[in-house]
Structure 1
Amino acid sequence: MTSETPSPLATERAELLARLAQPVTYDVAVIGGGATGLGVALDAAARGFSVVLLESHDFAKGTSSRATKLVHGGVRYLAQGNIALVREALHERTTLLRNAPHLAQPLAFVMPSYKLWETPFYGAGLKMYDALAGKAGLGPTEFLGRMETLRCLPTAMADGLKGGVKYWDGQFDDARLALALARTAARQGALVLNYCPVTDLLYEGGKVAGLVCEDAETSRRFDVRARCVINATGVWVDGLRQRDGQAQGLNVKPMVAPSQGVHIVVDREFLPSDHALMVPKTADGRVLFAVPWLGKLILGTTDSPRQDLAREPQAMREEVAFILGESARYLRRAPRVEDVRSIWVGLRPLVKPQDEDGGNTKSISREHTVLASRSGLVTVTGGKWTTYRAMAEDVLRKCMDEHLLPSRPGGVTVTLPMVGADGRKGGQGLSAPQGLHSYGSEAQAVARLPGADAVLAPGLTESMVRFAVRYEYARTVEDVLARRARILFLDARLAASLAPRVADILVEELPGHDPQLAAFLALAQQYASVPA
C-alpha cells in the first residue's frame, strides 16, 4: 500500500475562513454539502472553475449519510420499464467503483424464491440487467437451486424454499464517499466549508450575484460573490427557491415531496454471509434488503410520505414493525426489537409534478431535476447516490445553457480518482468492520499519527479520530462517530460509550472548541431507541 500524505492545511478552519473573507468573485457557489452539491463542486473545480461550497451542518449530515449503502442500477426501475435510467445508473456504478475502490466494492445479492415462477421470472429480468450493463457488469446472474441458495443465505427460511437468483450490484460507505468528494474537490482548488449556513442571496439588477453566509462557530458573516449560484440542498431546496421567488415577487410552488426511508441495524448472526438478501416485492409492494455492511446487517427500507423536514427524523412505530415483520418471513431467526443496534432515518427528495399533491411517493420521480429561476438561481434535486456524477454534469450543462458559465467540456470526472484511491481494490471490503483499509492509500498517514495502537473499538483508533480532525473537517463528536467512523449507524449504544474519550481527543486537537458531547449523547439515545 502506498503512502499518501495529506496537506496539513487541508482543513485548518481559520485558513478556510480567511480564504472565504477574500474579496473575490467565484465562478460557482454551491449551497449544500451532500452527494449532489459535492459532486457539482468537484466537477466544476476539475474543469478549472473557481468554486466555493458551503454546508450548513456537516458534509452528508442529511440524506447523503442515510442511504441503503447500495451502488446500483435500480432493479425496480427496470421492472417499471425505465431502461434509460437503469443504463445510466449501471454506467455510473462502474465509474464510482473504479474511482473509489477503497469505499465502494461489488456485492452479490440473492433473491430467494418460494414460488416456482419466481426464479425464472426474476432471473429473466436480471439477465436483462446484465445485458444493459454489458462490459460494465460485475458478475453474471445465476439461477440457484434450493441448496445453493441456502449456502449463500444460510439463515434464510428453508420451509417452502424452491431456489433463488444471484446477481451483482455494488455497495459503498456513503458518508465517507461524501467526505472523499469534498477533499478531492479541495485538492482541485475548491474552497469547501462545513458549518457555514447560507442565510440569504445577493442580487444585482434582479439577478443572483452571490450569497450571504455565517460561520456557525463564531457567527461571523460573509458576503460571497459568484457568477453562478447552485441550490443543491436536497430535500430542503424549496426553502431557498421560495426565498428567491419572494425577492422577485413570485409565488414558487414546492417541487419536493419528502419520503422517509427507515433502516434497522442488527448483528451479522441473523445473516452470517457476504451475500445480501433482496426481496423484490414485500407484502405491500416495496423492496426489502438485508445487507451486510461494516460487520453488521442493515435491514430496510421503508418509503413513507412525510410533511416536515426534520434534520433528525424519527422512525414511526409501524415502519419498524413492517421491517421486522417482513424479515421474519425470510429469516429463520428473525430479529426482534431487543436485537436492534441502531435505527436511522433519511428523507428522500422526491420530485413531484406541479399537479401532484405528494400523496403516494412510490409514484413520484426518483430522477433528478435541474431548473433555473428567473433570477438565475440554479436548483437541482432528486436522483440517487449512484448517479451523483452524472447529475453534476447535468447541473453544469444547465449553467452553461443559461450563460451563467462559459462552455467547457465535460467528462473530466469519469477517470478522476477520489482521495485515498490508489488504483487497487479496497482491502477487506465493506462486509468487514471499518478499519485502515477504509482509508485506501492514506492508511499509512493515519497509522503515523499519535494513538495508532490505542483501539477505542473495532475499526476505530485514537489516531483515526485525530486524522478526522486534522484532515477530514471533523468538528464535533457526532462528525467523528457518525460520519468519519460509522459507529453511530452501526451500534448507537457503543457510540455513546465511546463519546467521552472522542470528546477528549477533540479538545486536545482543538483547544477551547466545544465538541458537543451532550448533544451527541442525546442523538445516540434516539438512534438506540425503538419507537413504542
Structure 2
Amino acid sequence: MSETALPQTTDRARLIERLAEPRTYDLAVIGGGATGLGVALDAALRGLSVVLVESHDFAQGTSSRATKLVHGGVRYLAQGNVSLVREALHERTTLLHNAPHLAQPLPFVMPSYRWWESPFYGIGLMMYDALAGKAGLGATEFLGKARTRECLPTIIQEHLWGGVKYWDGQFDDARLALVLARTAAAQGALLVNYCKATGLVHEAGRLAGLRCEDQESGRSFELRARCVVNAAGVWVDALRELDGQASGRATKPMVAPSQGVHLVVDRDFLQGDHALLVPKTADGRVLFAVPWLGKVILGTTDTPREDLAREPEPFADEVAFILDESARYLQRAPRREDVRSVWVGLRPLVKPVEDDGNTKGISREHTVAVSKSGLVTVTGGKWTTYRAMAVDVLGKIQQAGLLPTLAASSTDHHRLIGAPAPGSATVRLSDAPGAHLYGDEAALLASLPGADVLVAPNLTEAMVRFAARYEYARSIEDVLARRNRLLFLDARAAAAAAPAVARILEQELGMPQATAPFLALAERYGTLPV
C-alpha cells in the first residue's frame, strides 16, 4: 500500500490560494525536475514547511527526457569513478524498492563480435556486481552464441562470438517525477507548476525569499523563506546571476549543457525483453537499444550545446550516428521512416575550471554551492541519484546554518504514492503502458468516468481525468507527453489523440484547450532533421 490511502486533488484555484497566503516557509525550491522534487520531498518528510515553484510543467525539461535507465553507470566505472558508481548502485536499489510500479530491473546484453570482447567487458561487469554487493539485481553471465541469440533474437548473427549479460534498471522518468511531487504534497509541501520564479528577495545582503508569477493568470507573488534552493537544472546559472547582481558580485557559469538524442522505433527491431548495449561504437561512444513501454529507444548522443532551448532540436549528424550504429547490430536496420518519435534532453553537466569543450571530461557528479547571500544551488548528477542529491542539499543547508538542526532523512525507505505492496506482481516496463503504471491507485483510476473508453492506444478517458484531478495536468501536452508518454512513443498517434484529450480536459478544468500548439510540437517530435 502507498503511504497515503486517498490522493489529494491538484485543484489549481486552491493551490494559488495557498500560494497567496502570507507566511514564511522553511524552504523554497525553484525547479520542478528530479532534483527539486527530491529536495522538496526530503524536506517535507523532515517536518519542514516547503514551497516549490516550476516555470513550466514538472519534469518538462531534462527530467522527462532521460534514457529511462536506473543505473550505476558502467562507463563511469571504466573511467575509474568508483565512488559515483557505488553511490548510484545503492540508489538504484532504493528507487526500485520505493516505486516498483515505475522502476524495475532490466537485463542487458553486450554482444561480442571479437573473441576478446566477452572476457574484457565481462571482467569489468563482474567488478560492477562486486560494487553492488547485496544491492545487485543479478549476476553477470557469459553467454555463448546460441544464448546470445535467444536473448537478442534480432541482432546480426554473422561473426557473433557470444555476449555478456548483466542487470541494471529502467523507469518511467516523467511519471516518477509526478509521483515525487504528489508524495511531497501529501506530506504538506505546496508545489505549483506553471509558476515562474521572476526574482529573488534580499534583505541586508541575505536572501529572504523569491518573487514568482502564475503563468496562467499573470498574478505575482512574493514568497518568504528562510532558505531558497536553486534546482533549475541547466538553467541554474540565470538565478545565480540574479543573486550575484543583488550584491554586486560576478558569477561564473557552473553548467556546461550537453544534449542527448533518442529515437523511438517499434519493438519488431529488438524483440525479446533484453536491452542491447554497445559499450564502444565506431567513434568511442555508447549505444543503447532499450525496450520501453512497448517500443524501443535507440540512443543516446552526448553533444555540447551552447543554447538552452526548452525544446532543443536534434542535430542531423546525431540522428545519422544512431541510425548508422544501430544498423551495425540489428538485422533489420532502422530507417528514418521507421522512427516514431525523436526527443532531446539537455544534461546539466558540472563545468570544470578549464573547459576544453569535450563533454567526456565534464563531471557527471552533482555539485552543491552556497552563495554569500545564502542561495543554495544544486546541479549536475543524474536521475538515479536524485535522492542522494537531496540528502546532500539538506546537509549543506544545515552546515551553512541556514536552517536549525534537521531530523535525519527518511527517503531511503519511504515508499512513493502508488507503490504496490512488496511482493505484488508487476507488469514489465518493457510492455505497453496501461493501468499498471498507477500501482495501487489502479482501482481509483478504474472508478473514474471513461475507464473503458479509449481515446488513443493505451490511453483511456479516465487516465486523462486522473491527470487533471490528481496529477497537476493543465494542457494537452502535459497529458500526452508526461502523464501518458504517447508523444515520446509515437508522435503521430499523439497528434491524432489531441482533440479528444482537449475535450476531456475542458470538462475537467473548465478552461479551453488549444490544439494547435500541441500539434506543432508533435510535428517536431515526428520529424527528423535533414
- TM-score higher than 0.5 here? yes
Match of 2:404 among 406, 409, 412: 406
**Paired residue for 2:430?**
431
* Per-residue Cα deviation, 1:57-111 (whole angstroms, up to 9, x for no partner): 0000000000000000000011011111111000000000000000000000000
Superposed, 1:47-126 pairs within 5 Å as 47-126=46-125
CA distance in 2, matches of 1:26, 1:74: 37
Does the CA contact (< 8 Å) of 1:75 and 1:129 recur in 2?
Answer: yes
How far off is 1:5 after superposition?
5.4
Aligned AA (2:399): D
Q: How far, CA to CA, are the matches of 2:452 and 2:331 in structure 1?
A: 40
Match of 1:225 in 2: 224
| Percent identity between the two aligned chains | 70
Question: What is the RMSD computed on CA atoms of the aligned residues?
Answer: 1.2
In structure 2, the partner of 1:349 is: 348
Q: Give SS of 1:529's match.
A: coil
Shift of 1:456: 1.8
The aligned amino acid for 1:393 is V
After superposition, give the CA deviation of every residue in 1:190-238 in whole Å (9 maximum; x if it has no partner): 0011000000000111111000001000001100000000000000000
Q: Where does residue 374 of structure 1 map in the other structure?
A: 372
Preserved CA contact (<8 Å) 1:27 1:51? yes
> Once the 2 structures are TM-superposed, how far is the Cα of residue 408 of structure 1 from its aligned partner?
1.6
Partner residue, 1:505: 504
* Distance in 1 of aligned mates of 2:503 and 2:3: 28
Alignment of 1:422-501 (within 5 A): 422-424=420-422, 425=424, 427-501=426-500
User: What is the CA–CA distance in structure 1 between the aligned matches of 2:235 and 2:6, rounded to whole Å?
Assistant: 33
Alpha-carbon distance in structure 1 between the residues aligned to 2:498 and 2:425 = 28
Q: Say if 1:289 and 1:300, in contact at 8 Å, map to a contact too.
A: yes
- Residue 426 of structure 1 and its aligned partner are, at CA, apart by 5.9
Deviation at 1:6, TM superposition (A): 3.5
Shift of 1:388: 0.2
* Cα distance change, pair 110–419 in 1 and its aligned pair in 2 (3 A): same
8 Å Cα contact 1:40/1:395 also seen in 2: yes
For 1:386, which of 384, 387, 404 is the aligned residue?
384
Q: Deviations over 1:283-336 (max 9, x none)?
A: 111110000000000000000001000000010100000000000111111100
Residue 176 (1) aligns with residue 175 (2): yes
1:444-501 deviation per Cα after TM superposition (whole angstroms, max 9, x unaligned): 0000000001012232100000000000000000000000000000000000000000
Q: Deviations over 1:418-445 (max 9, x none)?
A: 1001233562110111100000000000
* Change beyond 3 A, Cα 1:116–1:370: same
Q: Which amino acid aligns with 1:291?
A: V
Matched with 1:139 is 138
Distance 2:3 2:433 in 1: 19
Q: CA–CA distance in 2 between the matches of 1:6 and 1:457?
A: 28
Which residue does 2:300 correspond to in 1?
301
- Structure 2 counterpart of 1:334: 333
C-alpha contact (below 8 Å) 1:427/1:438 kept by paired residues: no
Aligned equivalents of 1:279, 1:93: Cα separation in 2:
21
Which amino acid is 1:492 matched to?
A
Correspondent of 1:362 among 360, 363, 370: 360
Give distance in 1, aligned partners of 2:415 and 2:17.
28
- Whether 2:316 is the aligned partner of 1:317: answer yes
Hey, what's the Cα distance between the residues in 2 that align with 1:493 and 1:365?
Answer: 37
Separation of aligned partners in 1, 2:324 and 2:398: 50
Mapped partners of 1:5, 1:128: distance in 2: 42
Distance, in Å, in 1 between the alignment partners of 2:115 and 2:172 is 36
Cα distance in 2, alignment partners of residues 60 and 309 from structure 1: 15
Give the 3-state SS of the residue equivalent to 2:405 in structure 1.
coil
Whichever residue aligns with residue 460 of structure 1, its letter is L
What does 1:237-316 align with in structure 2 at a 5 Å threshold?
237-316=236-315
Indicate if the aligned counterparts of 1:476 and 1:514 stay in contact, CA closer than 8 A.
no
AA in 1 matched with 2:267 = R
Provide the residue aligned with 1:38 in structure 2: 37
Q: Is 1:160 paired with 2:155?
A: no
**In structure 2, the residue corresponding to 1:197 is in which secondary structure?**
strand
Q: Distance in 2 between matches of 1:166 and 1:149?
A: 9
- Cα deviation digits, residues 336-385 of structure 1 (max 9, x gap): 0000000000000000123325x111110000000011110000000000
List runs of 5+ in structure 2 lacking aligned partners. Answer: none
Give the secondary structure class of the aligned counterpart of 2:164: strand
Distance in 2 between residues matched to 1:471 and 1:408, nearest whole Å: 30
1:13–1:108 distance in 2 versus 1, CA, 3 Å = same
Give, in angstroms, the shift of residue 4 of structure 1.
7.3
Amino acid at match of 1:261: G
Are the equivalent residues in 2 in contact too, given 1:255–1:352 (CA < 8 A)? Answer: yes
Q: Give 3-state SS (helix, strand or coil) of 2:408's partner.
A: coil
Secondary structure at the counterpart of residue 430 of structure 2: coil
Matched, 1:24 2:43: no
Paired AA for residue 528 in structure 1: G
Tell me which residue corresponds to 1:529.
Answer: 527
Inter-CA distance 381–54: structure 2 relative to 1 (3 Å threshold):
same
**Aligned pairs, number:** 529
Report the equivalent of 2:192. Answer: 193
Which secondary structure state, in structure 2, belongs to the residue aligned with residue 84 of structure 1?
helix
Distance 2:74 2:407 in 1: 32
- Residues 109, 277 of structure 2: 8 Å contact kept: yes
Q: Secondary structure at the match of 2:445?
A: helix
Letter in 2 for 1:239: A
Tell me if 1:214 matches 2:187: no
Alignment check: 8 A CA contact 1:4 1:442 kept: no
Following the alignment from structure 2 to structure 1, what is the Cα–Cα distance between the partners of residues 362 and 293? Answer: 32
Contact 2:141 2:164 in 1 (8 A): yes
C-alpha contact 1:255 1:354 (8 A) present in aligned 2 = no
The unaligned stretches of length 5 or more in structure 1 are: none
TM-superposition CA deviations, 1:2-35 (whole Å, max 9, x none): 997534x530111111111111100000000000
How far is 1:410 from its partner? Answer: 2.8
For the 8 Å contact 2:3–2:416, the answer to whether it is kept is no
1:515 aligns with 2:513: yes
Separation (CA, whole Å) in 1 of partners of 2:143 and 2:14:
57
Secondary structure of 1:354's aligned partner: coil
Moved over 3 A (4+): 1-7
Instruction: Find the residue that maps to 1:218 and give its secondary structure.
Output: coil
Once residues 227 and 372 of structure 2 are traced to their aligned partners in structure 1, the CA distance between those partners, rounded to angstroms, is 13
Q: Distance in 2 between matches of 1:323 and 1:353?
A: 28
